[in-house]
Amino acid sequence: MRIGILNATGYSGGELVRYLAVHPEFEVVGATARSQAGRRLHEVFPWMRASGRAAYADLELTPELNGSADLVISCLPHKASAAKLAPFLDDGMRCIDVSSDFRLRNPADYLRWHGVEHAAPEWIDSGVYGLTEWHRDQIRETDLVANPGCHAITAALALAPAASAGLLAGHVMVDSKTGVSGAGRSASAAYGFSEINEDSSAYRVADHYQSPEISQELSDIGGSPIEVTFAPHLVPMTRGILITAYGALRADVAPSHVEQAYRDAYEDEPFVHLAGVPPHTKWTSGGNHAFVHWTVDEATQTLVAMAAIDNLGKGAAGSAVQNANVMAGIDEQVGLAIPPSHP
């Protein structure tokens, strides 16, 4: 399958190229950039010379994609991606959007959380939310995948088994710790080393655009509304997200019910691993894996669910490749058999 990448020079785009450089079934036939257009990929990412396909190092970054791709993956920022993908979708091309532009199904919600009208509202209903472990059948058939946000996919993986089994009483609280790369390559001085090192802080508490995404997905999986209070925190690491989520359980739910729900959901999943202890972000660095752990606080009948991922892997480029594999009808592990790096 021929792959075209919109905005290959950000962190997500660069990570996508890294995965595709070892993918035997996909070929990158075009990659765009904005300020870096006209340069070769190795001029932006010198490590491309050492990749699995050194020829990609000489790939010229162009302002626009030509029409030779079978699948377009957009790593453009939110509020820019939908407008660029719409012409490809109109032409019948399959697309994966790594931005948040097609995740929320209500255009009014998009306006509320992003402050602008949606650029391609006619395509919103066609998109399938790209949480592969829960929607692979729909992903296989769709022309448009809305890749989950990095916080949202981690929270969903942590809580979806309990939601699906009807164990939650309704409201959940999600605490997220995230690395600096989540802010992107063009982040402000506030994300510089001297500002971030030896520091941790919360941001956009109960006001983050991935909050409604988490609620929408858990409600869909559970079949009834699940409200979310979301508090993200920035911590001094490059990669990784660690979610700790708290949800009141129904009065008749026992720990054995929770255990069964998580085993049923993930026992056979290649990229989601049930951990016997709280997970570490380093377990996931550089890969497309998620580690999930849960416990029940029986004194308060509260589920405490944890999940760790690499925000650029399972939280962005890795899950995009996993979804692309499903769309292409091949084993979803192809090109993703990359163990996390440690330490």
Q: Which amino acid is at 319?
A: S
Active site residue 95: no
SS3 115: coil
CA distances from 180 to 20, 238, 245, 274 (A): 24, 5, 21, 26
CB 308 within 8 A of CB 242: yes
Q: Among 150, 156, 228, 324, which one carries the catalytic annotation?
A: 150
Phi, psi of 5 (to 5 degrees): -115, 125
Label residues 268-282 b or e (16+ Cβ within 10 Å = b).
eeebbbbbeeebebb
Q: Which strands, in side-by-side order, build the sheet including 128-129?
A: 61-62, 27-32, 2-6, 71-74, 94-97, 144-146, 128-129
The residue ranges of DSSP E strands in 36-85, in sequence order, are 61-62, 71-74
Cα separation values, 38 from 29, 35, 64, Å: 15, 9, 11
In terms of phi and psi (left: phi > 0; alpha: psi -120 to 50; beta: otherwise), the region of 323 is alpha
Amino acid in position 233:
H
CA distance 319 to 69: 20
87 Cβ neighbours under 8 A, 6+ residues apart? none
The amino acid at residue 270 is P
Q: Look up residue 289 and give its two tokens.
A: 């894996």
Q: What amino acid positions are annotated as catalytic residues?
A: 150
